[in-house]
Amino acid sequence: MEVVEAVERRRARRVMDVRPIDEGSVVELLEAGKLSASCFNNQPWRFILCTGESLGPVKAALPRGNAWATRAPLVIVVAARSADDCELGDRREYYLFDCGLAVGQMLLRATELGFIAHPIAGYDPVKVRAALGIPDDHVVITLIVCGYPGTDDSLLSDKQKISETERPERKQLGEFAFVGRWGAPFN
């Protein structure tokens, strides 16, 4: 698959099968994250792979709106701390950016491998931190909910069911891309 195809096919789908993701695919996913760019090659990300028994406490940290994620056979917890990356004095928290780059590459690789990798912000980070022994100086940035596509959409809201069949609308380029100065839309 070409990169452009992975970019076009990647979707934040929610309907997943419960069958496990094979270890080889998990390694390839981690390798994609490992190869991501980072400030001075600091690689601040830490990935905690939750399967089997370690999934229970992570799933218990999900709100009702993310009940669909309880079917996932793998959840990757992404954590990092600012001290492990470039510390800039102008409010840029670069470790967050670098982790986002790594996660983005992982999402594209998962698409290429034929499974879903859906990052979420809806969870209780205090519960996740406590359950997995994540040190207090690390931020729990996201959970990447992973699984093969499934057919059982019974845990989805009506709105979520619609988003499974229709790609959510994207902004026009001129709404976020400017030419020469802020507010001069790219047409």
Q: pLDDT for 113-131, tens place per residue? A: 999 999 999 999 999 999 9
CA separation, residue 55 to residues 24, 117, 120, 128, 144 (Å): 20, 16, 15, 10, 12
Choose among 64, 55, 63, 67: nearest CA to 16: 67
> Domain 3-176 belongs to what topology?
NADH Oxidase (3.40.109)
Helix, coil or strand: residue 183: coil
Are 128 and 143 a contacting pair, CB within 8 Å? Answer: yes
- Give the Cα separation of 134 and 118 in Å (integer): 21
The reported pLDDT for the residue numbered 16 is 96
The Cα 131–Cα 134 span in angstroms is 8
How do strand 74-80 and strand 46-50 relate by DSSP bridges?
Answer: antiparallel
pLDDT reported for residue 4 = 87
Q: Which residues, given as ranges, of the chain have pLDDT below 50?
A: none
Phi, psi of 120 (to 5 degrees): -130, 155
Q: What is the pLDDT of residue 74?
A: 98
CA separation, residue 109 to residues 32, 36, 173, 186 (Å): 7, 12, 25, 30
